[in-house]
A and B are shown apart, each in its own frame.
Chain A
Amino acid sequence: AQSVSQHNHHVILSEAASLELGCNYSYGGTVNLFWYVQYPGQHLQLLLKYFSGDPLVKGIKGFEAEFIKSKFSFNLRKPSVQWSDTAEYFCAVKDNDYKLSFGAGTTVTVRA
């Protein structure tokens, strides 16, 4: 199974600031990539996913992610965050089996 690294453990930023969260996975081949978000007290929700095609993927709530195959990366971005984006964000990778491998998560705190 893949090993998934999320570089930032905790990110604190102000409203309207730009956000970028890093995600790298361990080995190549055909992969499917996901970002999930967990708002305080809520369940894990799918933000966006990449299966094939355009490596720049747009998701819900203004988030996007870019798949760079040569770097084994799938970084998440949002140009201008809101207080409501305070949550924990998880990158996940699935390759040739059914196992979804998760990163340890990044806690994002947005200050009003």
Chain B
Amino acid sequence: ETGVTQTPRHLVMGMTNKKSLKCEQHLGHNAMYWYKQSAKKPLELMFVYSLEERVENNSVPSRFSPECPNSSHLFLHLHTLQPEDSALYLCASSQDSGRTDTQYFGPGTRLTVL
């Protein structure tokens, strides 16, 4: 059972499509994160939001656009993606964004870009 949900679980899109990934946390946390998980590579932090303010954009291409309308919801808007963007996209949340805060992960969205 997870307190962080993600939809859709699987997504196939063409390079010209526009789609969005959704994350919702039910834990009352104040910080939310997007990660990219590619095969045999460490998880890559993409974006961090704390109290709905973006505090990190880890050199992510502009074809990925995050949105955090409130502390429970996080979106990742996708447009004109490349095949190398195919990966598992994970959302996480934590109470706050400090060093002692534990991050809890959602199940991920498996994205395939054709």
Contact = CB atoms under 8 A, between A and B. Distances in A.
Contact of B42 (A30, A94, A101): A101
Interface string A27-53: 000101010100000111110010100
Contacts of B45: 99-100
Given A30-B99, A32-B100, A43-B106, A98 B56 contact: yes
A34 B101 CA distance: 11
Contacts of B92: 44
A66 interface: no
A59 B70 CA distance: 33
Nearest to B2: A43
Residue from B41, B56, B99, B107 with most neighbouring chain A CB atoms (10 Å):
B99
A104 B41 contact: yes
Nearest to B5: A43
A95 interface: yes
Contacts of A74: none
Given A90-B43, A101-B42, A102-B42, A95 B107 contact: no
A30 B99 CA distance: 9
Interface residues of A, number: 26
Contacts of B2: 43
Contacts of A21: none
B75 to A, nearest CB: 19
A51 B100 CA distance: 7
Nearest to A32: B99
Interface string B86-106: 000010100001111111111
A65 interface: no
A103 B43 CA distance: 8
A4 B42 contact: yes
Given A99-B45, A100-B45, A101-B42, A44 B90 contact: yes
Interface in B38-96: 40-43, 45, 48, 50, 55-56, 90, 92
Interface of B: 2, 4, 31, 40-43, 45, 48, 50, 55-56, 90, 92, 97-108
